[in-house]
């Protein structure tokens, strides 16, 4: 897989005029945006990747935003077309294949779409809605007795499982990888979840307002987390954080030496929270199977209660200083390792690599549902996510 991707993103020889130049530009931009982040990539760098001058690049695209729109839009419309041709029997295979073909786009949509103008974001959301609607039709044809509430959740879980490959670099020889991913999508589509019918507005219970903290540092961390999640780390200034807290931007330096220190403090808190919850699980678990069930509940509770924090843990790690970034990634890898260790105890015939792909799929699915407000707040979603994750890890 790695060698195929490197050939796909390698530019043509300088001075040549390949017929597929526009496609090469899109592939090079996709690779650069994925590896370095949209904010850190310039048009000159994209031009260099395909061995052309910047002026030639602008003959194809008006600017960097236009290029990002094209990268994401091409992949999403390809997915829409694939699903339009899919049947209830082959939807998992088709979804797996297109997700591997456009492996980077899950990250780009979740992490970089915030940089797009509102009009383009709205257009891409409409494509996403159509994808979800088509998946709903296919799943209900496959499962005629499925309730409306369940049919409203499972398509997004299936899509999240398929695109989970965007959030890691694990790979298997083909056609094995596509088969594994298709099997995971199938397990999600067929997961035995139950959700209560949506409550009417009259029966809805509003969330508790909560109590404000008196700690200025805590207020800064909370507001920075919210702003970073919505606009990205690069799109938020110290003045923005100060204005949200109600103080002058320079006053923030009484609490944090730099904006990156705020991000590091938030990340450290999230990582430690997960570690502490994991230790509680291990202290109470009867065996490996029980431990995995408890870890699923622990993790789903964390992401559902802290969607902004999970957004940062998933998408903003690259903005940390080197030492903090290495620590954060090491902590995340170690956390996943614990899941893999338990899963292999439950299934001794599973190899660690494929097991890790399963674990990543389960965690990514919970992450993605937590980032969709209409799904995150649905009654019974925590239990449904438990059942989906248990299906992915074959705990039933």
Record the tokens describing residue 298, joined without a space.
């622990």
Count of beta carbons in the 10 Å neighbourhood of residue 341: 13
Listed residue (270, 265, 272) closest to 220, CA to CA: 265
Q: Measuring CA to CA, how many Å separate 24 from each of 49, 107, 256?
A: 9, 20, 43
Say what the pLDDT of residue 237 is: 93
The answer to whether 281 and 295 are in contact (CB under 8 A) is yes
CA atoms of 33 and 114, how far apart (whole Å): 13
pLDDT at 12: 52
**What pLDDT, on the 0 to 100 scale, is given for residue 207?**
53
Q: What is the pLDDT, as a whole number, of residue 208?
A: 54
DSSP 242-304: HHHHTS-GGGGGGT-SSHHHHHHHHHHHHHHHHHHHHHHHHHH-SSHHHHHHHHHHHHHHHHH
Rounded Cα distance between 204 and 111, Å, is 32
Q: What is the pLDDT of residue 5?
A: 41
Query: Dihedral of CA 232/237/243/246: which sign?
Result: positive
Please report where in the chains the tokens 């130049």 appear, as a residue.
Answer: 21
Tell me what pLDDT residue 138 has. 97
Residues of the chain with pLDDT under 50: 1-9, 201-206
- Domains, the chain, with CATH or none: 2-9+18-189 (1.10.357.10), 260-392 (1.10.357.10)
Query: In this structure, what are the phi and psi dihedrals at residue 183, rounded to the nearest 5 degrees?
Result: -65, -40
CA dist 284 and 294 (Å) reads 9
What confidence score (pLDDT) does residue 396 get? 76
Helix and strand element counts for the chain (H, E) = 19, 0
pLDDT in tens, 350-396: 999 999 999 999 999 999 999 999 999 999 999 999 999 999 999 97
First CA to last CA distance, the chain: 32
pTM: 0.88
d(CA 44, CA 54): 6
Query: In sequence order, what DSSP letters do the residues of 158-201 get, joined into one string?
Result: HHHHHHGGGG------TTHHHHHHHHHHHHHHT-----PPPPPT
Q: What pLDDT score was predicted for residue 186?
A: 98
Angle in degrees, 0-180, between the axes of helices 288-305 and 352-370, rounded to the nearest 10:
30
Distances (CA, A) of 390 to 6, 87, 184, 358, 359: 35, 26, 11, 10, 10
């Amino acid at each position: 897989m790695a060698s195929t991707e490197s050939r796909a993103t390698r530019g043509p020889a300088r001075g040549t005029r390949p017929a597929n130049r526009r496609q090469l530009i899109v592939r090079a931009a996709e690779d650069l945006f994925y590896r370095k982040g949209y904010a850190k990539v310039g048009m000159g760098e994209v031009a260099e990747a395909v061995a052309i001058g910047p002026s030639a690049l602008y003959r194809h695209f008006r600017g960097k935003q236009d290029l990002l729109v094209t990268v994401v839009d091409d992949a999403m419309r390809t997915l829409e077309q694939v699903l339009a041709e899919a049947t209830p029997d082959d939807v998992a295979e088709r979804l797996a294949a297109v997700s591997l073909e456009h492996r980077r786009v899950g990250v780009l949509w979740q992490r970089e779409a915030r940089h797009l103008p509102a009009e383009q974001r709205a257009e891409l959301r409409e494509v996403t809605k159509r994808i979800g609607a088509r998946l709903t039709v296919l799943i209900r044809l496959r499962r005629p007795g499925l309730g409306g509430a369940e049919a409203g959740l499972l398509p997004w879980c299936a899509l999240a499982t398929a695109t989970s490959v965007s959030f890691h670099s694990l790979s298997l020889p083909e056609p094995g990888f596509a088969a594994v991913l298709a099997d995971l999508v199938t397990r999600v589509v067929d997961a035995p979840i139950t959700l209560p019918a949506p409550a009417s507005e009259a029966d809805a219970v509003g969330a508790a307002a909560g109590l404000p903290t008196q700690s200025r540092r805590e207020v800064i961390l909370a507001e920075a987390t919210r702003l970073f999640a919505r606009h990205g780390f690069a799109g938020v200034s110290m003045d923005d954080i100060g204005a949200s807290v109600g103080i002058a931007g320079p006053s923030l330096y009484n609490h944090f030496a730099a904006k990156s220190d705020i991000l590091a403090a938030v990340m450290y808190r999230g990582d430690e929270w997960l570690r502490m919850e994991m230790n509680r699980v291990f202290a109470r678990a009867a065996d490996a199977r029980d431990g995995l069930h408890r870890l699923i509940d622990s993790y789903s509770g964390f992401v559902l209660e802290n969607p902004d924090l999970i957004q940062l843990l998933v998408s903003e790690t690259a903005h940390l200083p080197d030492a903090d970034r290495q620590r954060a990634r090491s902590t995340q890898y170690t956390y996943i390792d614990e899941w893999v260790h338990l899963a292999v105890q439950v299934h001794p015939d599973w190899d660690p690599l494929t097991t890790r792909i399963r674990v990543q799929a389960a965690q990514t699915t919970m992450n993605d549902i937590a980032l969709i407000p209409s799904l995150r707040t649905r009654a019974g979603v925590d239990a449904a996510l438990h059942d989906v994750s248990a299906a992915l890890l074959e705990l039933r």
